[in-house]
């Protein structure tokens, strides 16, 4: 399962994300998805997410502004400190081969740009 995180340029980008590949100002693809163990760890470590829509094949999630701000305001060393124990413990289940701290740094870049451009951050899963 691949998840694409994106900052939509407008409402049309959000609406079409359930039907086709997401587009927008910035796009990040990862195996870390909103329904996966690694993302639950991310949310547990930071704040929360808001579901806004779903269908049988895809799930679309809008990351809460609080989560986006928390991710944007942390530094890389903090991400390594937060993610390291989870990666080593195997607590992130099926996602255990992932580099959670590298994912957080990539997501941080997307979140910082979203804040700078006054955009929201969404994630859409696809099979």
**Distance (Å, whole) CA 57 – CA 43:** 23
Q: Are 33 and 1 in contact (CB under 8 A)?
A: yes
Return the exposure string of 55-76: e unless at least 16 CB atoms fall within 10 Å of the residue's CB, then b: eeebbbbbbbeebbbbbbebee
Look up tokens 């340029």; give the residue.
9
Residue 117 is predicted with a pLDDT of: 92
Contact 61, 49 (CB under 8 A): yes
Whole-number pLDDT of residue 83: 73
Which residues of the chain fall below pLDDT 70?
Answer: 1, 32-58, 86-98, 126-127
Beta strand 122-126 pairing with 59-63: antiparallel
Predicted pLDDT at 112: 94
DSSP string, 50-75: EEEEE-SS-EEEEEPHHHHHHHHHS-
| pLDDT score of 27 | 80
pLDDT at 8: 83
What pLDDT score does 110 carry? 92
Write down the pLDDT at residue 48.
Answer: 44
Domains and CATH numbers, the chain: 2-126 (3.40.1760)
């Amino acid at each position: 399962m691949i998840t694409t995180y994106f900052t939509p340029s407008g409402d049309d980008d959000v609406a079409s994300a359930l039907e086709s590949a997401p587009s927008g100002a910035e796009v990040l693809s990862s195996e870390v998805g909103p329904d996966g163990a690694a993302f639950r760890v991310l949310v547990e470590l930071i704040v929360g997410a808001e579901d806004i829509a779903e269908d049988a094949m895809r799930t679309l999630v809008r990351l809460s502004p609080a989560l986006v701000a928390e991710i944007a305001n942390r530094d890389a060393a903090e991400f390594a400190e937060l993610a390291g124990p989870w990666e080593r413990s195997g607590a992130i289940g099926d996602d255990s081969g992932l580099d959670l701290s590298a994912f957080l740094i990539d997501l941080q870049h997307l979140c910082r740009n979203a804040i700078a451009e006054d955009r929201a951050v969404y994630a859409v899963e696809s099979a």
